[in-house]
Structure 1
Amino acid sequence: MSRHFPAFAVAFAMLCSPVAAQEHLIFATASPSEGPISTVIFNDWAARINDDGAGIVEIDVRHGFTMANPANFYDRVKDGVVPITWGIMTTIGGRFPLTGMAELPFLSDDAETASVAFWRLYEEGHLDAEYHDIVPLFLTAFPQSGVHLSSPLASLDDLAGARVIAGSQTNSQVIQALGGLPQSINPADAYEAIQRGTADGRFVPWTAFPPFRMEEVTNYHIEAPIGTAIGMVFMNRDIWDDLPPEARDVIMRHSGEAQSRLLGQFFDAQNDGIRARVSNMDGHEIVAPDAQQSAQWETWLAPVTESWLERTEGGAALLERFTLLLEEAAAD
């Protein structure tokens, strides 16, 4: 009889012990439900986690702007109102100066390489000082932004005083250094500003065209690697720390570098597809500085990088490391 007692005791203990509750995490995407990033990236990511983590963790995707939007997404997670969200980190003025390095001109060419390099930079701990309230799950560096105007320039020697909507301090410095007049206008109001003629254009990547209908109000598109931004899916740190280790393991199996690479690939494909579509539209012209003009632009924009280095503690070492990581990611 004593030989069977341990097995009986174990079974009895299992029946009497409370079953661990499945973790339920709301992911407020701050993106339209029908948007490609929602349908292709966010839904798939959550589905993989929910399948792998059945009984352990569930990601409850909530699209739209009800629970979080592009203006408040960071505070909603920081304050614990929602556990997970998505947004463009460099639109949050002053909070992410190190992350703002991605906005510097002439750093990268494609989103995939830059996304992988930036994730590795984060994973090495170089950005910990500004991520103390959040835990990045995966991220992307967007494709390079271009200058999209409502009418052509006489030449690309400079922007000839064009009034260009720019999204950050570094973006504004880029536009000003190229001879334009930067304007600070909410992205949601950009269409109307250009349509009414209070702005001449906007500094954004091609991927911003569908949600903001930029092809309806701009027709002259200047391409050059003069800056990008970082987008990120991230989680409230306290909520993350309270998760059981097995829940965190499930989430990260489908996040991290692999998911960052996937998101970069997604945006590269989106960028190419949108560019091709706009190039085939009547009345649209896509141009780029020639070799001589590009050299001049690099000279004009060098002070933008110098300004970032001067105001960013540890910026020189960070930029040097990121440059090396870009080279390594490109060679993968």
Structure 2
Amino acid sequence: MTIILKRGLGAVLVLTSTLGAAQAEAEFTMRIAAGASSNGNVCNNYLDAWGDRVREASGGRIEYELTCDGALVGMGNGVDRVAQGVADVAWDAPGTYGARFAGLNVIGVPGLYTDPEAASGALWNAYASGALGGEITDVRVLWFQAVPNNSFFMLEPREDFSNLGGLQIGMGSQIRAAVVEAMGGVPVALRVPEYYQSMQRGAVQGLMTTPGAVFDFSIDELVHQVYEAPFGGGLTFTVMSNDFYNSLPADLQAVIDGLSGHDQSRWASAYLRDDEAEKLAALEGVEIRHATEA
């Protein structure tokens, strides 16, 4: 028993020594934050996957800590929290800021795109060229993520979606409100974390949103019908603190630059598109209706 104890102690000492050496190699630790659920696809295989790629590309010199569930930042304040130094990197939705990032809201125009991957790359190029109203300077934009087109997620099945007949529909942007009104519905402005309770209590009879918001907050358990058409897309972006970026030496700034921009934007949208399509296909007891060309 004494021999086993000594061997166990030796293994613990070796393990502790190894972990200590690995920690000593990290010169910088990025605090990555999101208002999204820790169980959703933003915080699993997306932000963490990017953090892993940064760690690998930097040879372990940049480590990261990921905090979700709105503990450090929420949707609609991530940019400001990063600018204030609360987090070094944050995922957020520019559409929640009203006119502040108005140029980016072009992504919500109905019929603009069908493939978010191509749209995300095009949006990055337009932003980089200054065509969308100039550079965002209070934070460093790392990449855009054009999301799949909005769909209608309904509490109860409906025969005719060409006329919503006065139903109250939760949504989160002026463009979406215009679409809801044009279809005969009543738009109700909600933040994503308010979607579930509003649906559950019947305050709204449906949501005009993207699958990510539905699955991230378990709203899919309330949905009985989905109606898909090119109703207009949406956008998230990931931003970094200027102070954090400027604190990095040139070779580590190059690592961040290499994992940002056009290609990273396309990767982000492709991941979301494929993940959400898989989850939608797996829904049970939910009718998914697709609009015809007419």
TM-score normalised to structure 2 length: 0.84
- State the one-letter code of the partner of 2:262: E
In structure 1, the residue matched to 2:205 is 200
In structure 1, the residue matched to 2:107 is 102
1:192-214, Cα deviation, whole Å (9 max, x unpaired): 21222211110112222222222
More helix by share: 1
CA contact (8 A) 1:102 1:230 kept: yes
Indicate the percent of aligned positions where both proteins have the same amino acid. 27
In structure 1, the residue matched to 2:64 is 59
In structure 1, the residue matched to 2:293 is 291
Whole-Å Cα distance in 2 between the matches of residues 248 and 72 of structure 1? 25
Whole-Å Cα distance in 1 between the matches of residues 37 and 171 of structure 2? 23
Name the count of aligned residue pairs.
269
CA contact (8 A) 2:141 2:240 kept: yes
Match of 1:173 among 173, 178, 181: 178
TM-score normalised to structure 1 length: 0.75
In structure 2, the residue matched to 1:329 is none
In structure 2, the residue matched to 1:302 is none
Worse-superposed segment, 205-214 or 79-88: 205-214
- Structure 1 residue 129 displacement after superposition: 2.9
Whole-Å Cα distance in 1 between the matches of residues 293 and 66 of structure 2? 47
Match of 1:219 among 220, 224, 227: 224
Which protein is bigger by CA-based radius of gyration?
1
CA separation of 1:61 and 1:197: change in aligned 2, threshold 3 A: closer
CA separation of 1:120 and 1:224: change in aligned 2, threshold 3 A: same
User: Could you list the runs of 5+ residues in structure 2 that have no partner in the other structure?
Assistant: 1-25
- Structure 1 residue 116 displacement after superposition: 1.3
- State the one-letter code of the partner of 1:193: S
In structure 2, the residue matched to 1:244 is 249
Worse-superposed segment, 140-149 or 59-68: 59-68
- Structure 1 residue 130 displacement after superposition: 5.6
For 1:301-312, list aligned pairs within 5 A: none
In structure 2, the residue corresponding to 1:37 is in which secondary structure?
coil
1:146-194, Cα deviation, whole Å (9 max, x unpaired): 1111123342332211110010111111111111100012322222212
Structure 2 residue 45 is matched with structure 1 residue 43:
no
- Structure 1 residue 63 displacement after superposition: 3.5
- State the one-letter code of the partner of 1:43: D
Backbone CA RMSD of aligned residues: 2.1
Whole-Å Cα distance in 2 between the matches of residues 154 and 185 of structure 1? 25
User: Could you list the runs of 5+ residues in structure 1 that have no partner in the other structure?
Assistant: 1-20, 293-332
CA contact (8 A) 1:116 1:257 kept: yes
